[in-house]
């Protein structure tokens, strides 16, 4: 049966689908698969107990059934939006009202709405695009637009640091913004690299966005104030020209599919209208579970005192294991400033990162090949085939076994050219 242009585009192989398939296998695969792919958050006992307690209370009070039995409006659950407005104003004095926030079924849906709202095909054959000022960027953006060829990415500057570390920076000299650019988009902290754009970089991007009359989208899935998987000391940023996307997923509720968008009322209204058509209304379970946490501010306490140290310790442990076991001076790790990933760079590796992914998968270790994370980068750059992403949110046993296999493979490849 022939599919439409939309059908063909959205049924073909995509990195994000491969990733979610691997993730599903990994989640179901028990001890046989060492799952360092995907973006699943860790199982943190304190968070699980808290969520279980909240669910039980909702059930006992009859609120769970009431929530399941009713639709919310297309903007999302009002009580949750009101509580978020109060939280953000108290923390950052942003002067938000309920017209500044809307909810989506996960922030992935928010990006789909945003990219298709702002970019793609316009009247008179014009096309407008989303600019990623710093590649590599999140794999999930790659196919999230109905029109083809909608993303433009810019190669970063790289600073080499001590102890086989490195960090990407926005190359402002290479950033060209003309009327074809519809919005600038960054994840902060960045998936896949754990990079956190500095305050200076964000201020410069904001200035460019203002000058060109386009919004700056900041994907805050791992940022402040929740889940606060951010280890660098940076300032939260928002103004009427900024669109911030948050999520309850990395706090520990990926199955609840709750994304949060903070933007000016025009964007929020447009997104809510889109949401009405695409989904009727966003799911209400996530907001209902998280509402007491936001009202009591426990969401901040848990993020600061449980989630952040959990991931920071795990990332340091994983870095230590990798540094100890991988011998080559050509091996580099991106500065781990946030999120739940390590980004490894194997300079001049004799095989591509995709071949490395396949070898590791055969050995029972799932990682993600770095080449997926350069949506919109048109120029050839060997670096795109030299990196892999690891999710380190695993148990100590899984981490040690997986890193042993990765290190043995890499050491053999560097020493003999084969495994
Ligand atoms: N943005 C980034 C940077 C992510 O890593 C993810 C998920 O891994 C998302 C957005 C989407 O998250 P969700 O749809 O679960 O809110």
CATH number at residue 371: 3.90.1150.10
Domain tally, the chain: 2
Question: What average pLDDT does the segment 5-34 reach?
Answer: 74
Whether residue 307 sits in one domain with residue 233: no
DSSP state of 338: B
- Could you list the residue range(s) of the whole structural domain that residue 138 is in? 49-297
Indicate whether 20 pLDDT > 80.
Answer: no
> What's the 191 CA to ligand 1 centre distance in angstroms?
8
Whether residue 136 sits in one domain with residue 244: yes
Indicate whether 29 pLDDT > 60.
Answer: no
**Gap between the Cα atoms of 152 and 377, Å rounded:** 6
| pLDDT for the residue 247 | 98
Q: Pick the last residue of a domain from 246, 272, 297.
A: 297
| pLDDT for the residue 302 | 98
Ligand 1, atom nearest to 247 Cα: 16
Largest CA distance in the chain: 64
- Residue with CA at minimum distance from ligand 1 atom 6: 221
Structure tokens at 249: 């997923």
CB atoms within 10 A of CB 28: 8
| pLDDT for the residue 28 | 55
pLDDT digits (tens, 9 = 90+) for 384-397: 999 999 999 999 99
Whether residue 221 sits in one domain with residue 240: yes
Smallest CA-to-CA distance from 285 within 71, 74, 24 is with 71
Local structure of 379: helix, strand or coil = coil
Q: Which residues line ligand 1 (CB under 6 A)?
A: 39, 106-108, 138, 140, 187, 191, 219, 221, 247, 249, 254, 259
CB atoms within 10 A of CB 217: 28
**Gap between the Cα atoms of 348 and 356, Å rounded:** 13
| pLDDT for the residue 13 | 76
Whether residue 65 sits in one domain with residue 34: no
> What's the 337 CA to ligand 1 centre distance in angstroms?
17
pLDDT digits (tens, 9 = 90+) for 258-281: 999 999 999 999 999 999 999 999
Question: What average pLDDT does the segment 327-348 reach?
Answer: 97
Whether residue 358 sits in one domain with residue 270: no
The residue ranking higher by pLDDT, 18 or 349, is: 349
| pLDDT for the residue 14 | 73
For ligand 1, pick from 219, 221, 389 the residue to mutate: most ligand atoms within 8 Å of CB.
221
Indicate whether 241 pLDDT > 80.
Answer: yes
Query: Residues near 113 by Cβ (< 8 Å), separated by ≥ 6?
Result: 104, 271, 274, 275, 278
> What's the 19 CA to ligand 1 centre distance in angstroms?
13
Whether residue 397 sits in one domain with residue 307: yes
Whether residue 330 sits in one domain with residue 246: no
> What's the 247 CA to ligand 1 centre distance in angstroms?
7
Percent of the chain with pLDDT over 70: 97
Q: Pick the last residue of a domain from 297, 316, 338.
A: 297
Whether residue 216 sits in one domain with residue 85: yes
Q: What are phi and psi of 101, to 5 degrees?
A: -130, 140
For ligand 1, pick from 107, 130, 136 the residue to mutate: most ligand atoms within 8 Å of CB.
107
- How far, CA to CA in Å, does 131 sit from each of 23, 136, 155, 205? 28, 12, 12, 11
Q: Pick the last residue of a domain from 297, 322, 354.
A: 297
Local structure of 254: helix, strand or coil = helix
> What's the 187 CA to ligand 1 centre distance in angstroms?
9
> What's the 108 CA to ligand 1 centre distance in angstroms?
6
Residue with the two structure tokens 């999520």: 247
Percent of the chain with pLDDT over 90: 90
- The model's pTM is 0.96
Structure tokens at 151: 């993303």
Ligand 1, atom nearest to 189 Cα: 3
**Spatial contact of 272 and 117, defined as CB atoms under 8 Å apart:** no
pLDDT digits (tens, 9 = 90+) for 343-394: 999 999 999 999 999 999 999 999 999 999 999 999 899 999 999 999 999 9
Whether residue 253 sits in one domain with residue 333: no
> What's the 339 CA to ligand 1 centre distance in angstroms?
11
Residue with the two structure tokens 């196919």: 143
| pLDDT for the residue 345 | 98
Indicate whether 97 pLDDT > 60.
Answer: yes
| pLDDT for the residue 64 | 95
Whether residue 373 sits in one domain with residue 226: no
Whether residue 360 sits in one domain with residue 259: no
Whether residue 177 sits in one domain with residue 93: yes
CATH code, 190: 3.40.640.10
Structure tokens at 378: 């048109």
């Amino acid at each position: 049966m022939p599919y439409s242009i939309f059908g063909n585009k959205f049924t073909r192989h995509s990195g994000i689908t491969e990733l979610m398939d691997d993730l599903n296998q990994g989640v179901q695969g028990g001890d046989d698969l060492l799952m360092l792919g995907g973006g699943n958050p860790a199982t943190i006992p304190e968070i699980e107990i808290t969520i279980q307690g909240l669910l039980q209370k909702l059930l006992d009070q009859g609120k769970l059934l009431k929530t399941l039995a009713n639709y919310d409006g297309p903007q999302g659950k009002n009580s949750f939006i009101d509580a978020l407005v109060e939280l953000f104003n108290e923390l950052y004095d942003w002067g938000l009202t309920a017209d500044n926030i809307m909810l989506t079924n996960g922030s992935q849906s928010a990006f789909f709405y945003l990219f298709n709202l702002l970019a793609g095909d316009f009247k008179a054959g014009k096309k407008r695009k989303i600019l990623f000022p710093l590649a590599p960027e999140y794999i999930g953006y790659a196919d999230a637009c109905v029109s083809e060829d909608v993303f433009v990415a810019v190669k970063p500057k790289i600073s080499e640091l001590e102890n086989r570390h490195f960090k990407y920076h926005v190359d402002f000299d290479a950033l060209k913004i003309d009327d074809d650019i519809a919005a600038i988009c960054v994840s902060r902290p960045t998936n896949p690299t754990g990079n956190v754009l500095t305050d200076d970089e964000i201020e410069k991007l904001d200035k460019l966005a203002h000058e060109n009359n386009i919004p700056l989208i900041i994907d805050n899935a791992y940022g402040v104030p929740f889940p606060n998987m951010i280890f660098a000391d940076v300032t939260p940023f928002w103004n009427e020209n900024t669109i911030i996307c948050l999520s309850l997923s990395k706090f520990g509720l990926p199955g609840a599919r709750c994304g949060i968008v903070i933007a000016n009322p025009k964007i929020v209204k447009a997104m809510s209208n889109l949401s009405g058509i695409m989904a009727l209304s966003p799911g209400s379970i996530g907001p209902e579970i998280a509402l007491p946490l936001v009202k009591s501010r426990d969401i901040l306490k848990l993020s600061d005192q449980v989630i952040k140290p959990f991931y920071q310790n795990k990332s340091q442990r994983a870095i230590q294991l990798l540094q100890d076991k991988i011998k080559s001076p050509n091996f580099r790790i991106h500065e781990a400033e946030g999120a739940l990933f390590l980004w490894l760079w194997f300079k001049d590796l004799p095989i591509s990162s995709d071949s490395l992914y396949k070898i590791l998968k055969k050995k029972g270790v799932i990682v993600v090949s770095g080449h997926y994370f350069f949506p919109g980068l048109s120029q050839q750059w060997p670096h795109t085939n030299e990196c892999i992403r690891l999710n380190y949110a695993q148990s100590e046993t899984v981490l040690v076994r997986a890193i042993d296999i990765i290190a043995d493979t890499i050491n053999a490849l560097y020493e003999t050219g084969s495994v």
